[in-house]
Amino acid sequence: MRQSVHITSWGGRLAVALYALAAVVCVLLVYAAAVRRSAPVVETVTTGGARAVAPAPTPVIYAPQLPERDAEVEQAGDRIAEVEVYLKKRQSAAALAALTRARHATARALEARQRKGSRGDELASALKGLDAVQRAIERGAFDDAHRQLVALDESLDRLN
């Protein structure tokens, strides 16, 4: 059974009053802390002539030493790249026609090199490589033909 507690003694009333007073003081302290203004912040912004200017960079003059451009070899490389495009699309007839153009361009580059008195070993081996590519295309080995063409194209890039 529950019994109700009555605060009838003088000490009990005093305790309740002190608790109420403590609660009021806490509320007042929180209010005072919220209302209290902090000191104003002073910001200084500097503009104008005191700004540091970076010195102008010195220009770099560089003339690369590139090898002479051989138009015939570049033409042969372009024709080989054309064959690569047709092989990626699996168009064997167009690839064979482009391969014929690549063979003629490579032969012209070889003849031009021989007229100049330069050696054309790389171009002669490229012509042999084009024959191997043709055989690979005719038997339907497009991936092998593509790998061989990439190798030929890289060798012509080194040559030029």
53-105: pLDDT as tens digits: 778 888 888 887 777 778 888 898 899 999 999 999 988 899 999 999 999 99
At residue 4 the predicted structure's pLDDT band, cuts being 50, 70 and 90, is low
Residue 52 near residue 102, CB atoms below 8 Å:
no
Residue whose entry in the numeric block shows the structure tokens 């770099």: 60
All structural domains of the chain: 71-159 (1.20.120.660)
Residue whose entry in the numeric block shows the structure tokens 């190798």: 151
Residue 99 near residue 130, CB atoms below 8 Å:
yes
Confidence (pTM) = 0.56
Q: Give CA 43 to chain center in angstroms.
A: 42
d(CA 155, CA 160): 9
Give the helix/strand (H/E) hosting 142.
helix 142-159
d(CA 142, CA 80): 14
